[in-house]
Amino acid sequence: MDANDLFLRLGVSLAIGLLFGIERAWNLHTAEHDLQASGIRSYALAGLIGGVGGVLGQSLGVVLVATVFLGFVSVFSAFQWRESVASGSFSVTSALAGILTFLLGTLAAIGDSQIAVAAAIVATALLALREALHAWINALTAIEIRDGLILLAMAFLLLPLLPDRMIDPWGLLNLRQIWILTTMIAGVSFLGYVAVRGLGPRWGILVTAAAGGLASSTATTISLARLAKTATPVRLLVAGMLIAACVMLVRVLAIAGALQPALLPLLIPPIGSGLVTYLGLAFWLERMEPTPATPTLGIRSPLDLLGAVRMVVLIAVVIVVSGLTLRNYGSAGLYLVAALSGIADVDPITVSSARMAGDPQVSATAILIAVAVNSVVKALLAAWIGRPFIGARFLLPSLAGIAAGAAVYAFI
């Protein structure tokens, strides 16, 4: 590397050390003693030493880097031990932070400096959030930890083992994609529960609905309907379902516009009118719901793998039926396929319709049919999984949005 690149990389190594040093000094500034063996300068030098050692190791061999690293760990750990003995406060965090500073300084000097900076930012954030993380861990229950581990196992252990290929005779079902959907439904449900516990019933439900709608408004509606079995703020739950539906409408416009911009003039008026209707009713329902006296809802962790698997089986059946219908009837069966696809999700029919080379009005109509069917199906799911009156309260605003969109679409 040339001199300019070398100076820049060593500067990044020094900056990483300063970042760790500032956090450690800020974290320990309230200590009753002034016996810190390592401060801003120590961590800054640790990062720079790591960078210089890495540069020298490129020309003198990896043995030099290993020797410098072992020497640094020995000296730094010894001073940390003496500091702990003098202060009576025993913690390994500062020692680990120093070792990580050295290694990231080395990575910035001879490897990918962007990865080194990103890792340093994440590490200092974890160090700075010590109190918040401890409070969050202490608030978890055994059931919540179990459900979190199950969710991680679903996403990172079982998913890589599944084949990423079609498994049915018609070439329509991909087992890995189906399990991704299963994990998503379970994950949205569990994250919604965590958000409600952490943010309180009002903001927890609304934030969860908006975030969940980005992944699947159907999964979000199912999650909120489950809460309706034990939770009391019914209007908030329905408002959350409407917000998830709003995010779904925006997602449809984004997908269709990216694949075929000619669809936007046909889709924006009807979807926009439905969007305004949903937002207005969601705001009214949120205002009508009094703030609960306490921030907790008294609910249990809602992670239900069996229910998620049942839902995915239903979706898989719909995918097969839709695919066979499209093959047998061609473009003439597009509207029927759209209605069937809308039972499960609107994204597949949105993508396939937007990619069709034909009349944009036919494609737009198919997308709108899927959106309308999906809205009605979500209301029925809310009534089935939650309570009947929850489904009814969600169905009426959904029908109002559908009617507004249909009226505008017929006019244009």
**Domain segments of the chain as ranges:** 3-135, 142-411
For residue 295, the model assigns a pLDDT of 36
Residue pLDDT, tens place only, 144-191 = 677 777 777 777 777 788 888 877 787 767 778 777 766 765 676 666
For residue 271, the model assigns a pLDDT of 93
Quick one: which of 191, 289, 166, 241 has its CA closest to 398? 241
Strands (E), 84-196: none
Is 296 a residue whose pLDDT tops 50?
Answer: no
Question: 371: which 2 tokens?
Answer: 């959106």
CA distance 38 to 46: 10
The pLDDT of 342-369, averaged and rounded, is 77
Buried b (16+ CB within 10 A) or exposed e, 98-115: bbbbbbbbbbbbbeebee
CA distance 298 to 370: 36
Is 196 a residue whose pLDDT tops 60?
Answer: no
Determine phi and psi for 166, rounding to 5 degrees: -75, 140
Whether the Cβ atoms of residue 239 and residue 331 lie closer than 8 Å to each other: no
Q: In 170-304, which ranges are continuous DSSP H helix?
A: 175-199, 201-215, 217-227, 234-259, 264-288
Whether the Cβ atoms of residue 227 and residue 238 lie closer than 8 Å to each other: no
The pLDDT of 47-57, averaged and rounded, is 90
Assign 293 to helix, strand or coil. coil
Most confident of 25-34, 80-89, 184-193, 379-388: 379-388
Buried b (16+ CB within 10 A) or exposed e, 374-401: bbbbbbebbbebbbeebbebbbebbeeb
CA distance 183 to 305: 9
Question: 94: which 2 tokens?
Answer: 């500062």
Q: What's the chain's average pLDDT? A: 77
Sorting pLDDT into bands at 50, 70 and 90, what band is 315?
low
Which residues, at least 6 apart from 169, have a Cβ–Cβ distance to it below 8 Å? none
Residue pLDDT, tens place only, 244-261 = 888 889 888 887 888 788
Sorting pLDDT into bands at 50, 70 and 90, what band is 202?
low
The pLDDT of 286-313, averaged and rounded, is 56
Question: 274: which 2 tokens?
Answer: 């439905």
- Assessment of whether the complete model's pTM goes beyond 0.85: no
Most confident of 40-44, 114-118, 196-200: 114-118
Whether the Cβ atoms of residue 151 and residue 190 lie closer than 8 Å to each other: yes
CA distance 241 to 250: 15
Residue/partner pairs of 353-360 with CB below 8 Å, 24 or more apart? 353/256, 354/255, 354/256, 354/259, 354/260, 354/263, 355/259, 355/260, 356/331, 358/331, 360/260, 360/262, 360/263, 360/266
For residue 360, the model assigns a pLDDT of 84
Distances (CA, A) of 168 to 10, 319, 335, 388: 56, 11, 24, 36
Is 277 a residue whose pLDDT tops 80?
Answer: yes
